[in-house]
Structure 1
């Protein structure tokens, strides 16, 4: 007999959220490595993203270095 816990697929949600955060953080770290910023700036951003995964990514995304637009 299988008992229902009433949670449905809720048990996998934290895993999926963690996986999504990991993927987004790895993408951010890759973009940081590819940027033309100085090494110290890259290191500071990578440490921020690694130590505070969700908020570090968000902070980098909105406040991080932008490409200069020529035109």
Structure 2
């Protein structure tokens, strides 16, 4: 059971890092980037889902 918890946490971490990199590469204004990154960091799973659906797209 612990291996699934650890694997799930690793997947969430990788997805959040990918989302943050994509936010930084986007053409969004600086304050918007900061807010998106804070959302992803504070609410890792929900923040990622919201970013994936409504976040800034690539440059």
Q: Which runs of 5+ in 1 are unaligned?
A: 1-9
Instruction: Judging by fraction of residues, say which structure has more helix.
Output: 2
Q: Give TM-score, length-normalised by structure 1.
A: 0.78
Is the radius of gyration larger for structure 1 or structure 2? 1
Q: Deviations over 1:17-65 (max 9, x none)?
A: 0000000000000000000110000000000000000000000000112
Count of matched residue pairs: 59
Q: Which runs of 5+ in 2 are unaligned?
A: none
Where relative contact order (Cα < 8 A, 6+ residues apart) is larger, the structure is: 2
